[in-house]
Amino acid sequence: MHIAPHDNQNRAIVDMDDAVVPLVYFNIITLKAGESFTYRTPGYETCIVPATGTVTVETMGETFAAIGNRGADVWDGEPEGAYVPQDTGARITALTDTETFIAGARFAETLRPFAVRAADIDRVQYGSDDTKTHRKIKHILGAAYHDRVGRLLVSELYTVGAGGWSGFPSHKHDADRLDSTGEGMIETRHDECYNFRFKPDYGSGLQMLQRVDNEPGDAYHIMNRSTVLIDTGYHPCCVLPGYEMYYFTILGGQSQRSLKQYFQPTHAAQLHTIPGIMDMVAKFK
């Protein structure tokens, strides 16, 4: 599902118990310096990530000062974030003009809040110019926080260079499935939400969603600030030649935090042609 760019007026773009992706939550808030925003999401843990600007986050009696250091856009510096447990009130105060993402995943337990600083970001780069798959990933809530977070995975993905593909070889993660022995997981149910940005901002791209291997699927024309919801199917995306693409990624697991991707059988051989792809897979844990 594609949600076209719009002024959401600080209201959730993907609310709790969404009909398409009930396991995730997503909001974008825009604040002027000195303004504040408060929220509470019962049953959903969240992560606050400034796209631009700097904020202070207060939750559960703790204060995380000066989160975020980016200027003009998401390419202008490293991400930072603050984890907010479910059903816990949080107050975001803008120290500068800011656009801030709030990413969430369904989870019933109340854990402890913490900050993720730029030095803590887990980075991976894979692909190649030759295969048109060169990209880098910055994990904000990645494998390093597996014991401190319930079901939520939060990352930022960037194409490297201008033009190319991301999310290829095509994969899906729409069901919890065991292997033939009944012991090993070969796929997990993780609802997913993307918010796209392009550089320059009048760039655009394409999000594919193929429900069944080797059968026609859907395709969405994505633009700056487009939001895409992934519930089922294989879902590669691409950006026009001459433009860079970024997408903020939220994953919420149904039964576990670690993501197990199932690669599309038709294109599975490509796993052996794209440098570093298995390192990428290992980081979504």
Where does the chain have alpha helices with state H?
277-283
**Residue whose C-alpha is closest to residue 103's, from 74, 76, 124, 82:** 82
Q: CB-hemisphere CA count at 13 Å for 161?
A: 17
- On the question of pLDDT at 283 being above 60, the answer is no
CB 211 within 8 A of CB 233: yes
Residues of the chain with pLDDT > 90, as a percent, come to 78
**Residue whose C-alpha is closest to residue 258's, from 171, 182, 144:** 144
Condensed to tens digits (0 to 9), the pLDDT of residues 208-220 reads 999 998 899 999 9
- Residue 223 is predicted with a pLDDT of 98
Reported confidence tier of residue 274, pLDDT bands at 50, 70, 90: confident
Condensed to tens digits (0 to 9), the pLDDT of residues 145-175 reads 999 999 999 999 999 778 888 888 889 999 9
Measured CA to CA, the distance from residue 247 to residue 270 in angstroms comes to 23
- Residue 214 is predicted with a pLDDT of 87
Partners of 44 in the beta sheet? Answer: 106
**Residue whose C-alpha is closest to residue 142's, from 20, 279, 254:** 279
Q: Considering the entire predicted model, what is its pTM?
A: 0.94
- On the question of pLDDT at 50 being above 80, the answer is yes
- Residue 279 is predicted with a pLDDT of 67
Helical (H) or strand (E) element with 136: strand 135-141
Reported confidence tier of residue 270, pLDDT bands at 50, 70, 90: confident
- Residue 281 is predicted with a pLDDT of 65
Angstrom distances, CA of residue 50 to CA of 55, 78, 83: 7, 10, 12
